[in-house]
């Protein structure tokens, strides 16, 4: 499916070898011809790195599904509520909050109510609802990491455009700096 959709060549090639300037389409997304899945797009993403000379191949597809007709009328309202509320799950790392959540969940499940109602109520009482407009400061992402990420992206794009060894060295140096900052933040949060 990689060559089926109209894209620039750089978004079709899934493998490269810089020493000989070779590129090829050797990784594929394959689906059955008689499937009900509808493939909307397939392309290679060059920015994802995993220590390989292959690029990530990503596809967008629509999958048909049948809705269960046995569900009562009140269930869609609960599903909508669960989709719109985000809980502060990172608080479960603290033992006191985790114990509180487990106790609330056990107490509600003992009443033999629906499991979805129990999970929603327990999460609301123990964790509280997360403000989705503002990113939490608890996860450790800060301005220094954001600035280093932007510098890292700029040097990467510069290297991709020029393909020069100096720009690659600069990019690798900035990437190492970013990884050190990220590891430092992760260790501080633990």
For residue range 109-139, what is the model confidence (pLDDT) as tens digits?
A: 666 556 667 777 888 888 887 766 554 444 5
For residue range 36-93, what is the model confidence (pLDDT) as tens digits?
A: 778 888 888 777 777 777 888 888 888 877 666 555 555 556 556 556 777 888 888 8
pLDDT-derived band at 13 (thresholds 50, 70, 90) equals confident
pTM: 0.33
**Average pLDDT of the chain, as a whole number:** 76
Burial of 21 (0-12, 13-18, 19+ CB in 10 A): exposed
Specify the residue for token string 């590129």. Answer: 23
What is the average pLDDT across 171-185?
Answer: 87
Q: Name which of 71, 100, 93, 78 is nearest 140 in CA terms.
A: 93
44 against 150, higher pLDDT = 150
Q: Quick check: 96 pLDDT over 50? A: yes
Q: Count the Cβ atoms, other than its own, within 10 Å of residue 159.
A: 19
pLDDT of residue 75: 54
Rounded CA separation 101/91 (Å): 10
What is the average pLDDT across 161-170?
Answer: 89
pLDDT of residue 170: 92
Domain definitions of the chain by residue range: 9-62, 75-126, 143-189
């Amino acid at each position: 499916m990689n060559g089926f959709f109209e894209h620039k060549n750089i978004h079709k090639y899934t493998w490269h070898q810089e020493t000989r300037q070779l590129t090829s389409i050797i990784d594929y997304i394959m689906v059955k011809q008689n499937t009900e899945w509808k493939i909307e797009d397939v392309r290679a993403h060059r920015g994802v790195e995993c220590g390989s000379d292959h690029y990530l191949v990503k596809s967008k597809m629509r999958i048909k599904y049948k809705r269960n007709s046995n569900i009562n009328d009140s269930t869609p309202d609960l599903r909508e509520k669960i989709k719109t509320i985000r809980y502060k799950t990172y608080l479960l790392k603290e033992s006191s909050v985790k114990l509180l959540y487990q106790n609330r969940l056990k107490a509600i499940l003992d009443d033999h109510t629906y499991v979805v109602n129990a999970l929603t109520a327990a999460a609301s009482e123990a964790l509280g609802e997360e403000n989705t407009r503002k990113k939490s400061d608890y996860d450790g992402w800060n301005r220094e990491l954001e600035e280093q990420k932007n510098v890292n992206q700029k040097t990467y794009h510069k290297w991709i455009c020029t393909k020069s060894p100096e720009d690659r060295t600069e990019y690798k140096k900035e990437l190492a700096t970013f990884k050190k900052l990220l590891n430092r933040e992760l260790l501080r949060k633990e």
